[in-house]
Chains A and B, each alone.
Chain A
Amino acid sequence: EERKEAGRAPPADKQARRAARAAAEWSGAPAQREWERQRQQVQKPSLCPVNRPRELQQFHRLSLKASLPTAEANSRPAPSGNGCPGNGCRFTSVASEAEGLLGRLAMAEHGPYLPHEPGYGLYQPGYGLFDDQTPDPDHRMLACQNAKAYLLQSSLTSGLNLYDHLVNVLTKILDERPANPVDIFENISKDVKAAQFQKKMDTLRDEHEILPSFESAEIRRNLFFKSDAGDEEREEELGEIPLPNVMETAFYFEQGGIGLSRDETYLIFLALKKLVSVQPIQTCRFWGRILGREKNYIIAEVQFREGEEEEETEEEEVIDEGDKRMDEVEDEDEEKEKNEPPKSTYKPPPVIPKEENGTGANKHVYFVCNEPGEPWVKLPPVTPAQIVCARKIKKFFTGRLDAPIVSFPPFPGNEANYLRAQIARISAGTHVSPLGYYRFSEEEGDEDEEGGGGRDDYEENPDFEPLSAFEMVESLSTWVHHVPSILKQGRCVWFNPLQKTEEEEGEEEEEEKDEVPDELQQETGPPLLTPLSEDEGIQNIPAWTVSLSTRLIPQYAVAILRSNRWPGAYAFACGTKFGNIYFGWGHKYSLGNHTPALPPPVQPEYPNGPEIREAADPTVEEELAFKAAQEQKALEGMEGEEEEEEEEFEEDEEEEEEDD
């Protein structure tokens, strides 16, 4: 190390050497020498990162190689705290530098040191470093040159040499000025070596990388384009926009700590606007987001304008008719076959029809997309069978609507149907509003309806007087459900599957002889607009948790409701505004882990009786012996037992035939 430093700054001038020697003798402590060594180093070209052109860098490298102190080291007016010469940088070329060097060295250029400064008394001209160690300057020069030659030796394996490498490393450190470089010195060295392998000039240019994030960015950007001018005129004509103010609702939820980031909410807002402009929609609402394993679902709850839904039902009827025709053809084929296996007497339970679009569980239509900006996909209406099955299984959503649901009991449908069923359950269980916001619309004959449920219609109450947030939080009876609950059957309005239509009556009369149909009890659920205090909890956990968004400013607080039965369902109420939203996985809360239903027990076999019991075939000898015994018996008791013998013989023959 000492040789290296000596190689860098050989005191070419005797005066300087003498000054250094005197100072060393005078102080005598090795610490001073160390300090001086550091000072020497500090005065090395301190490269201001601010103004440092390429040539200057080159200049400094050359100067390092030439092992001469450069202009700054000698032209420093005063010692400064950091090594940077500040405004006193003077950059000259190498040639002129060498000329002026000797002249500058002659002068003690390290500034007038005041007595209290550490450099005082040290730098006297004519004193050199390490003079006491190697008195002969020629030997020391030789030693330096040997050392430098050794460092410049290039390695056989990599072609680098230590000197160049160290120069590069130190240049990098001086460029970047990391904190505590000594701790990460090895890493820097490794990085410099690794940088050797990056070709800066290559005839082959890398193809510009297309990250998958570019596509998603493009989809999102398309949201920000306004549609054609024709739509603009239409918007101006329409007084009301079916689009809700999603940002306002998001603001209230944000008070309670619920919701997506503002950016994403705004993107969803724009996506909803696109949906509204494409589909004939009367009311629209951001329902929430359901997480999935690969992708998430963003769900919009929508009600179509009247008359716009009929297209869907026609398609479904066409499909049904097509299926019926297929069944008929198959039946005809089967009748042609002669050997028909016996028809099973199993009658599947009657299929409960789904509710009409616009009523009950199918009151709203739901649109789904994975990311805001992607086209919205409409979810099919839900059937009671799907809801009943969805109650028994627990599957995470993958994010693809056409993914199959493999479960037991087998779910009738794919992921789109399962998603729709869960949405229906969540809506029925957790959509709440402040008491009085909705009231029953007054119509005649509401009390006795055939469906057996309560009133179905509700409308906004124009006389709604909002309660303060504090009152909303105090008790749960200030909140009510405004979505009908789903019965065990899977519908909101009970359907009697034993209702016989005129066509089916004939068939069922015949079948009644075989079975006696059980009378199903009419199922009832809690009526509409029941307060939340009636909700059952799970064990000792209440069904809902209420809280205020802030206790510090109760005047502007928002009442936040959190469901414990469906984790992820939230509602807020603030004055006349309220909202519901769902962010979660789409599952109900279960205390333990989910245990899927076990398959039914193995059905018993036909009871083992003598008529089906297998027996080994008798061998020929046994048959002959048996025949002989029979004939003897016949001879002995001929007359009286003839009939019996015949019967026995027939039985024997029958047994033999069966054995065959």
Chain B
Amino acid sequence: MEPAALPTALQLAASGDTGLSLEKRAALGASLLLLQRDYRFERVWFWGCIQGVRGTYYIAQGLGPDLAAPRSRLYSLNCVEWSLLPPATVEMVEQAALLKGLFQGDPSFEYEYAEVNAEDDERFLEDGKELTIKEENRLVATIEQIDRAVGIIPRRAFMKTPLGSVHENRNFEGLSLTEAKKLSSYFHFTEPVNLKNKTLLEKADLDPSTDFLDSLEHDVPQAVKCKYAENLIQRFLWWDIPLKKCYQFGFLLLFCFWSSE
């Protein structure tokens, strides 16, 4: 979310180990604004942090005017100096899926496949060398997977213009309490998969400008709702990530979790 809203979000999102000490929070406020200036992003969001064995990666996302466009991702080890991450490819994601265990905390670390099946060998090995994957690529793939799995927005928060680009809905004032409790009022912010499979009756009820994404209702396993004071906190047990949303202030997206798998 925006760096200005970070303290509020962290207060709500407090599940214990946010990984953001006061020093880092203060640094973020300054460095994210400079990122916006240097990369000419329209908006910079703090995505969260991934904790490795020896260090922690802090991830930020830069957005242009279209929210559905591929986002540029940056990482930093100390919240002051940021480096751009390469965009995720399908191959990267496949390779990263074979890795298990925590991140090391060193972006140049190279993982070696020790327990790769013979089939995978044929697929990946071309030169006969031992296949290695850099931690940077693993990071990119992990972030992509997380975004795809748990990037959710409340209904009617984003609108699709006739030209195809996605914008924030300026008339969105948050969800009411009853709406916030239902899983159907949240959408996955990825390419919709289930939308085409809906029956015509269901499609008739949808508003194409706001209902252009998959809702959370049909997810397996189900997302778990946890009430914290009067704010609703969604937790995804699959990825063990808390995703927070406060219906009073609109919404905030924050991923902050403990390494992988």
Contact = CB atoms under 8 A, between A and B. Distances in A.
Interface of A: 178, 184, 187, 191, 211-213, 216-217, 254-261, 263-264, 288-289, 291-296, 396, 538-542, 545, 549-552, 562, 564, 567-568, 570, 581, 583-585, 591-593
B15 interface: yes
Contacts of A541: 53, 101-102
Given A187-B171, A591-B100, 15 more contacts: A212-B227, A213-B230, A255-B21, A293-B237, A294-B226, A539-B101, A540-B101, A549-B23, A567-B258, A570-B17, A581-B16, A583-B16, A583-B17, A591-B101, A592-B261
A652 to B, nearest CB: 64
B240 interface: yes
A211 B100 contact: no
Contacts of A570: 17
Please give me the 8 A-B residue pairs with the lowest Cβ-Cβ distance, nearest first. A583-B16, A213-B230, A257-B21, A261-B11, A260-B14, A261-B14, A293-B224, A257-B20
B19 A257 contact: yes
Contacts of A259: 14, 16
B23 A552 contact: yes
A585 B252 CA distance: 23
B54 interface: yes
A551 B24 CA distance: 11
A264 B100 CA distance: 35
Contacts of A213: 229-230
Contacts of A552: 23
B210 to A, nearest CB: 12
Contacts of A545: 53-54
Given A184-B171, A396-B237, A539-B101, A254 B21 contact: yes
17 contacts: A178-B170, A212-B227, A257-B22, A258-B16, A259-B16, A261-B11, A261-B12, A288-B16, A289-B16, A293-B235, A293-B237, A542-B53, A545-B53, A550-B21, A584-B17, A585-B240, A592-B100
A583 B15 contact: yes
B6 interface: no
Contact of B16 (A255, A260, A540, A542): A260
B25 to A, nearest CB: 8
A291 B15 contact: yes
A480 B221 CA distance: 40
Interface of B: 10-12, 14-24, 51, 53-54, 78, 100-102, 170-171, 177, 224, 226-227, 229-230, 235, 237, 240, 258-259, 261
A260 to B, nearest CB: 4
A293 B226 CA distance: 7
A257 B24 contact: yes
B180 to A, nearest CB: 12
Given A550-B23, A564-B53, A592-B100, A257 B18 contact: yes
Contacts of B24: 257
Contacts of A211: 177, 230
Nearest to A552: B23
A591 B102 CA distance: 9
A567 B20 CA distance: 16
A263 B231 CA distance: 15
Nearest to A209: B177
Nearest to B169: A187
Contact of B17 (A216, A258, A263, A591): A258
A584 B177 contact: no
Nearest to A587: B240
A289 B11 CA distance: 16
B118 to A, nearest CB: 20
Contacts of A551: 78
Contact of A584 (B12, B14, B16, B20): B16
Contacts of A261: 10-12, 14
Nearest to A294: B226
A253 to B, nearest CB: 9
B12 to A, nearest CB: 8
Nearest to B51: A562
Contact of B21 (A294, A538, A549, A591): A549
A216 B227 CA distance: 11
A545 B105 CA distance: 11
Nearest to A188: B171
Contacts of A592: 100, 261
A542 B104 CA distance: 10
B52 to A, nearest CB: 8
